[in-house]
């Protein structure tokens, strides 16, 4: 039995999948199986994967009709034999020590899930940046019990699977699967796994490289399937409500709904944003209004403005609030700087006056002044 099953859904990834597979097959942890599930590609992806499979028996090519990545991941998971599950996108790549470090951490700390830092890179420019929000305010290199992170789960982690290693026994016990959606098909699996885990561990290492600005990626065409996120939101809420451990994450989940909705209505075109708002409104209105949520002003304002039933009106109102707060902050900062300069000027003035006073009161000044007085009288007489 392999230690890790690496599951890679692929769709028209011919331009990138070679780099992806090379990074996986070059792992320092060699006892792995790699299951590539081709989701009905129309380019050369399958041939490239088949060539790799012919050269390395650890790789298996599975083919299916186009049903999107969630179904492909489920298909690969059903064939996985490893002790651990790792899901990688076909256009990303990983460090050579990634699987070894994740396995060592999850076994050392007896965790259900191991998570590490990740980096994005622009497919066109090559620019790179660390994805800060993926591990927000967590401790590293120690076991973190569910009770320690459940109240901020959705604010600390992002609902994608490729920065996480999952214990297969734990996933089998929870019976979690990916949703058969065009986009946002991974949120239910990832967030609910985190919500149901006993213990997780986070690594302070950048082990994953996520490609952005990829013209073939569904990530950039969210407007075509904006309602998929609503399916995920509802399914997550239903699953969390089924258990005590899940219910402990509901406050964090409710904050996530509000924050995600703000981002959605600001980023989608007007028609799609309005449609999203109409669908999400009953979900938002059902969120308990209690002090435990600790909403920021913009999340609170979203609920206040729902009666307008216009996504862009809410977006404009939120933007106006942000601009007002920014202006107030700028004004306060200017006033603080002005006050600091005034205090500094007063200090310099006081120091100068004190120095002058000391000079005037000094013996040498008085002596010099006495010697100069006769000379000034001579100048006065000469000038007459």
Q: How far is CA 203 from CA 21, 104, 278, in A?
A: 23, 11, 40
The pLDDT of residue 368 is 45
For the segment 258-264, the average pLDDT, to the nearest whole number, is 86
Q: How far is CA 379 from CA 370, 382, 383, in A?
A: 15, 5, 6
For the segment 54-63, the average pLDDT, to the nearest whole number, is 98
For the segment 302-315, the average pLDDT, to the nearest whole number, is 60
Instruction: Say if strands 113-122 and 164-167 run parallel, antiparallel, or are unpaired.
Output: antiparallel
More confident residue, 363 or 37: 37
Q: Are 112 and 167 in contact (CB under 8 A)?
A: yes
The pLDDT of residue 363 is 45
* Structure-block tokens of residue 232: 């995920």
Q: Are 254 and 154 in contact (CB under 8 A)?
A: no
pTM: 0.79
DSSP 328-375: HHHHHHHHHHHHHHHHHHHHHHHHHHHHHHHHHTSHHHHHHHHHHHHH
């Amino acid at each position: 039995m392999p230690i890790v099953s690496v599951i890679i859904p692929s769709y028209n990834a011919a331009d990138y999948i070679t780099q992806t597979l090379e990074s996986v097959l070059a792992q320092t942890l060699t006892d792995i199986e790699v299951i590539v599930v081709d989701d009905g590609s129309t380019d050369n992806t399958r041939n490239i994967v088949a060539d790799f499979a012919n050269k390395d028996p650890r790789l298996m090519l599975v083919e299916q009709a186009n049903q999107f990545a969630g179904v492909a991941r489920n298909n690969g998971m059903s064939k996985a034999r490893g002790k651990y599950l790792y899901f990688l996108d076909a256009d990303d790549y990983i460090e050579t020590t990634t699987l070894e470090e994740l396995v060592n951490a999850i076994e050392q700390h007896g965790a259900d899930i191991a998570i590490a830092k990740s980096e994005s890179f622009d497919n066109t420019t090559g620019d790179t940046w660390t994805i800060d929000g993926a591990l927000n305010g967590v401790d590293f290199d120690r076991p973190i019990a569910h009770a320690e992170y459940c109240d901020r789960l959705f604010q600390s982690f992002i609902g994608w699977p490729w920065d996480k290693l999952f214990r297969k026994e734990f996933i089998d016990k929870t019976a979690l699967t990916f949703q058969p959606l065009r986009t946002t098909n991974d949120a239910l699996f990832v967030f609910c796994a985190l919500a149901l885990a006993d213990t997780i561990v986070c690594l302070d290492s950048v082990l994953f490289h996520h490609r952005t600005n990829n013209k073939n990626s569904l990530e950039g065409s969210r407007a075509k399937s904006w309602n998929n996120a609503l399916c995920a939101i509802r399914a997550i809420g239903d699953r969390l409500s089924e258990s005590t451990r899940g219910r402990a994450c509901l406050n964090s989940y409710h904050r996530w709904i509000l924050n995600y909705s703000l981002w959605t209505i600001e980023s989608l075109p007007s028609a799609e944003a309005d449609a999203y708002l109409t669908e999400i409104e009953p979900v938002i209105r059902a969120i308990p209004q209690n002090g435990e949520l600790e909403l920021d002003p913009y999340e609170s304002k979203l609920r206040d403005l729902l009666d307008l039933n216009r996504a862009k009106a809410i977006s404009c109102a939120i933007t106006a609030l942000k601009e007002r707060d920014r202006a107030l902050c700028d004004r306060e900062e200017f006033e603080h700087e002005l006050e600091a300069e005034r205090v500094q000027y007063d200090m310099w003035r006081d120091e100068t006056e004190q120095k002058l006073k000391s000079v005037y009161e000094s013996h040498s000044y008085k002596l010099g002044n006495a010697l100069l007085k006769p000379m000034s009288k001579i100048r006065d007489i000469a000038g007459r």
